[in-house]
Chain A
């Protein structure tokens, strides 16, 4: 590997700008880091060059650990967005700078300079000053300068960002051919998707400090795994449908899947993606060569040269929730983006108001169904701490958030929600605020009747409100995060696979959440002193399987088996291992549907003041 990044992490003012980024770039690869501004991509690049320090992690260049080395000794070539040429030196002196530093003889320097000027297509311009050549030429000089000392890797920070569209295209091609010719391992940072697709062997998409997905451009475009990547790369029609045995169901119609997704429980809500070019349009349902989605109405047609873009309105369908294009406030229809070739547009001319049939040629199911969080607050400092924690986790997990304020004074609550919304606002996928009068339990009950949530976050001291916690768990199949006091997003989670509790599901949901916040996990099982050695082997095998699953999800994990009294053992482990989140399975409901936390959970809740995630298992799937 030319470039290996292990767990790079960086915090600025309590804000995680780079969050456990790991990456391997093989020899000669052109890798593009793609992300919007503020996603941390430039910070990663500067870390590799040594221009920015890191809080955690390791950087290896050609197997050499350079984490502690100063910039000067890293042997990298770096190209800046705004060229950063030495203004008082000629083009030739700029290019020779790195060679002079290395005390290369004048004749050799001159030879290398001429070679590079030819490579970047600037032969004869060596005597000019930077101010006498155009922006595109300056960036070519910067590239030649960065290559002169034959660096091991080439790092490019939005090198085309400051240039005109036409020059950008031209320089893009030059960049690609030079990289091919030299075979130098390259990382380029950009926010331009087209640029990334054209240049990259592989693309990595970054958002809020995390490297979400890595893969060849085609794969990321056609088969993204996350909502962010699906909507960030190109235009996406993304909606929530139902998973079936054969594929996915959108409304009443079943669509086969091009590829089998990671198994998710049957009948679950899943995110379904189809691109505008996957939409087929026809004047009758029979002439569609693919499964029909329904009859829509053309809202808008846009001529785009060699093709035509259309926006179509489709009546709402039961069980289908559109995500992208986003539904406008007050909108009563789903919007579908479509694209046709000019021939297709000639065969079936469409204008706004026409009602063609829509079919989908190819659908793709996202691995990640998209989380939905409910943060509940009465405005108290304790609840506020939980809201902050929930917001942080939601941001990292790309979850949509509903902030529910409850209390006796609705006007005070409105003001509180407004300020909290502003505080939480940046970086959340979606944030909605609601108010409810009265106390906690009925407020939550009303809210979850209307919408289902994956996680409810509460700022409660579970010890003092055991019955409330039980009541909230009883209401639905959501998971519950209790934050007894304000705390930061967890970095180390202890997942208890305690004796007699459901386990596999705990590991899966907790694993997903833990992966999103970039934490590491330990799977802990506690056995009684007297239990047989054969039981222990069985438990160890079970934990090892869990660790494999977690690592598949991208969570650094390990297993631990302890013997002793459950409550004390868990508490000791939590403190000695410095864990900042405890994950436990919720007990199964009793015959009458009630959930009782009596027993181990209540004992542990009573002595621990760290965030506790109580995960739910669907009845019947409990596995010991």
Chain B
């Protein structure tokens, strides 16, 4: 093939037409990539009607997988929101050696393959390892192949989400409100609680929802850390994997629909919160 050095004649005229075709091709791409697979799942899961769907979900194994996923994610969200906010506060408000490095490390969990995350946690907390063994024998805490392992893995994976949601808002926050509170007699803790924290409520919730959405579908780290023990450590994503393996398409699709619905709801929630935050910063 030879490269053509010049644009073909007449292209300029076609730019207006090109704008329409660009829009159309993007929409088509989205349809093929996102919409059609979603519709297929929906059709598959509801093949046997709503009763069939409900029967599949309410089996003890499926139900347990679903509730385990929800409660471990919820615990993670609480811890992550508190710690992520504090991390952002420290990164914005304090100067210390290694701050730039810490700021870079925050994003690391996004880049590390989640399987590797699982392996790291197993090496650290596994029952045969020093730390894991000590926790098991002394405190009776089992981490690996148990729900705490799931929470740890989720915490690791979602760490950047709250930090990065809160940090920019905190950076732009008008310090004068805090100074004003100080002149009115408020101490540092009161200022944080009554003035700083309320201003961070929106980014904190959007970071929390994002973490939750991310956690619902996590597979790689959890399968390594918690294994696939039905009625104990099997999460929704791992359940779907099992159903696919045993060629139970209806079960896989039904659980998938639930997960998609939750994720969709959360993403819409995040979107709404972010829009409110933008309106607020414009005002």
Number of chain A residues whose Cβ lies closer than 8 Å to a Cβ of chain B:
29
Using a CB-CB cutoff of 8 Å, which residues 58-81 of chain B contact chain A? none
Interface size class of B (residues with CB under 8 A): 20 to 34
Check A87/B182 contact, CB under 8 A, given A72-B187, A82-B174: no
Check A149/B199 contact, CB under 8 A, given A84-B174, A87-B177: no
A80 lies within 8 A of B198 (CB): no
Residue of B179, B190, B283 near A80 (CB, 8 A) is: B179
Interface 1/0 per residue, A75-105 and B, CB below 8 Å: 0111010101111110000000110011000
Residue of A72, A148, A149 near B182 (CB, 8 A) is: A72
In the docked arrangement, what's the CA distance between A373 and B185, Å? 49
A145 within 8 A of partner (CB): yes
Residue numbers in A under 8 Å from B194 (CB-CB): 86, 97
Question: Closest approach, in angstroms, between the C-beta of B190 and any C-beta of chain A?
Answer: 7
Check A97/B183 contact, CB under 8 A, given A80-B176, A82-B174, A88-B199: no
Interface 1/0 per residue, A124-160 and B, CB below 8 Å: 0000000100000000001001101100000000000
Using a CB-CB cutoff of 8 Å, which residues 176-215 of chain B contact chain A? 176-177, 179-187, 190, 194-195, 198-199, 201
Residue numbers in B under 8 Å from A76 (CB-CB): 183
Question: Closest approach, in angstroms, between the C-beta of B128 and any C-beta of chain A?
Answer: 51
Check A72/B185 contact, CB under 8 A, given A78-B180, A82-B174, A82-B176: yes
A98 lies within 8 A of B199 (CB): no
Main secondary structure of the interface of B (DSSP, over half): helix
B179 lies within 8 A of A101 (CB): no
B185 lies within 8 A of A98 (CB): yes
Question: Closest approach, in angstroms, between the C-beta of A232 and any C-beta of chain B?
Answer: 28
In the docked arrangement, what's the CA distance between A436 and B198, Å? 66
Residue numbers in B under 8 Å from A102 (CB-CB): 185
Residue numbers in A under 8 Å from B201 (CB-CB): 88
A71 within 8 A of partner (CB): yes
Which chain A residue has the least Cβ–Cβ distance from B201? Answer: A88
Which chain A residue has the least Cβ–Cβ distance from B174? Answer: A84
Question: Closest approach, in angstroms, between the C-beta of A26 and any C-beta of chain B?
Answer: 23
Check A84/B180 contact, CB under 8 A, given A101-B185, A101-B186: yes
A68 within 8 A of partner (CB): no
B183 lies within 8 A of A146 (CB): yes
B174 lies within 8 A of A72 (CB): no
In the docked arrangement, what's the CA distance between A97 and B186, Å? 9
The interface centre, meaning the residue of A50, A72, A78, A145 with most chain B CB atoms within 10 A of its CB, is A72
Residue numbers in A under 8 Å from B179 (CB-CB): 51, 71, 78, 80, 84
Which chain B residue has the least Cβ–Cβ distance from A93? Answer: B194
In the docked arrangement, what's the CA distance between A80 and B180, Å? 8
Residue numbers in B under 8 Å from A34 (CB-CB): none
In the docked arrangement, what's the CA distance between A608 and B215, Å? 74
A49 lies within 8 A of B186 (CB): no
Check A97/B199 contact, CB under 8 A, given A72-B186, A72-B187, A82-B174: no
In the docked arrangement, what's the CA distance between A71 and B177, Å? 14
Question: Closest approach, in angstroms, between the C-beta of A221 and any C-beta of chain B?
Answer: 33
Residue numbers in A under 8 Å from B182 (CB-CB): 50-51, 70-72
Question: Closest approach, in angstroms, between the C-beta of B203 and any C-beta of chain A?
Answer: 13
Which chain A residue has the least Cβ–Cβ distance from B176? Answer: A84
In the docked arrangement, what's the CA distance between A88 and B197, Å? 10
In the docked arrangement, what's the CA distance between A24 and B82, Å? 48
Given contacts A84-B176, A86-B198, A88-B199, 13 further A-B contacts (CB under 8 A): A51-B183, A71-B179, A71-B182, A72-B182, A72-B185, A73-B185, A76-B183, A82-B176, A86-B181, A86-B194, A87-B177, A87-B199, A87-B280
> Measuring CB to CB, which residues of chain B are less than 8 angstroms from any residue of chain A?
174, 176-177, 179-187, 190, 194-195, 198-199, 201, 280, 283
13 sampled A-B residue pairs with Cβ under 8 A: A51-B182, A78-B179, A84-B179, A86-B181, A86-B194, A86-B195, A88-B201, A97-B181, A102-B185, A131-B283, A142-B180, A146-B184, A149-B184
Closest CB pairs A-B (n = 3): A84-B176, A98-B184, A78-B183
